[in-house]
Structure 1
Amino acid sequence: MSDVVITVRGEHETRIAPERAVAHLTIRAEGPERGAVVERIAAFTEPVRDDLASRKIAGTVLEWTSQRVSVWSERPWNNEGKRLAPVYYATVDFSVTFTDFAVLSWWAGEVAEREGVQLGWIEWKLTPETRAATERDVATQAVGVAVSRAAAYAGALGLGNVTPLEIADVGLLTRPEHPEGAQAPRVLMAKAAFSADSVGGGPAVQLQPDDIVVSSAVEARFLAR
Structure 2
Amino acid sequence: MSEVIITVRGEHELRIAPERATLHLSVALDGPDRADVVERALAVAAPVREGITAREQQGSITEWTSQRLSVYADRPWNTEGKRLAPVYRASVEFTATFADISEMSVWVTELSVIEGVTVGHVDWHLTPETEREVEREVATQAVGVAVSRARAYAEALGLTNVAPLEIADRGLISEGSAPMPKAAAMRGSAMMMEAAPAMEFQGEEITVSATVEGRFSAS
Retained in 2: the 8 A contact 1:61–1:98? Answer: yes
The C-alpha deviation readout for 1:151-194, integer Å capped at 9, x for no partner, is 11111111111111111111112349x7x531320111111211
Say which SS state the counterpart of residue 41 (structure 2) adopts: helix
Structure 2 CA distance, aligned partners of 1:204 and 1:68? 30
What runs of 5+ residues in structure 1 fail to find an aligned partner? none
2:215 alignment partner in structure 1: 221
Shift of 1:83: 2.2
Which residue pairs with 1:91 in the alignment?
Answer: 91
SS at match of 2:77: coil
Alignment partner of 2:200 out of 198, 201, 206: 206
- 1:29 match: 29
Counterpart-to-counterpart distance in 2, 1:154 and 1:71: 69
What secondary structure, in the 3-state scheme, does the structure 2 residue paired with 1:181 have?
coil
Give yes or no for contact 1:70–1:91 (8 Å, CA) kept in 2. Answer: yes
Stretch moving more, 51-60 or 94-103: 51-60
3-state SS of the aligned residue for 1:193? Answer: strand
Matched, 1:39 2:33: no
Deviates more, 1:96-105 or 1:6-15: 96-105
Instruction: Tell me the residue number matched to 1:147.
Output: 147
Is the partner of 1:85 in helix, strand or coil?
coil
Tell me the equivalent position of 1:124: 124
Once the two structures are superposed, what CA deviation does each residue of 1:59-101 show, in whole Å capped at 9, x if it has no partner? 2322222111122222222222222222221211111111111
Give structure 2 stretches of 5+ with no counterpart.
Answer: none
State how far apart, in whole Å, the 2-side matches of 1:220 and 1:135 are. Answer: 18
Structure 1 runs of 4+ with >4 Å offset: none
The residue number in structure 2 matching 1:183 is: 181
What is the aligned partner in structure 2 of residue 168 from structure 1? 168
Distance 1:81 1:87 in 2: 17
Q: TM-score, normalising length from structure 1? A: 0.91
Give the distance between the partners of 1:212 and 1:142, measured in 2 at CA: 18
Whole-Å separation in 1 of the counterparts to 2:59 and 2:129:
20
Give the residue type in structure 2 aligned to 1:78.
N
| Larger displacement relative to structure 2 (65-74 or 148-157) | 65-74
CA RMSD, Structure 1 to Structure 2 (Å): 1.6
1:126 deviation in Å? 0.9
2:114 is aligned with what amino acid? Answer: R
- 1:9: how far off? 0.8
The SS at the match of 2:114 is coil
| Equivalent pair of 1:109/1:196 in contact (CA under 8 Å) | no
Aligned mates of 1:81, 1:156 — CA distance in 2: 79
State the shift of 1:135 in Å.
0.4
- TM-score normalized by the length of structure 2: 0.94
After TM superposition, the structure 1 stretch with the greater mean CA deviation from structure 2, 65-74 or 140-149, is: 65-74
C-alpha offsets along residues 120-139 of structure 1, whole Å, 9 cap, x if unaligned?
Answer: 01111111111101100110
SS at match of 2:55: helix
- Give identity over the alignment, percent: 53
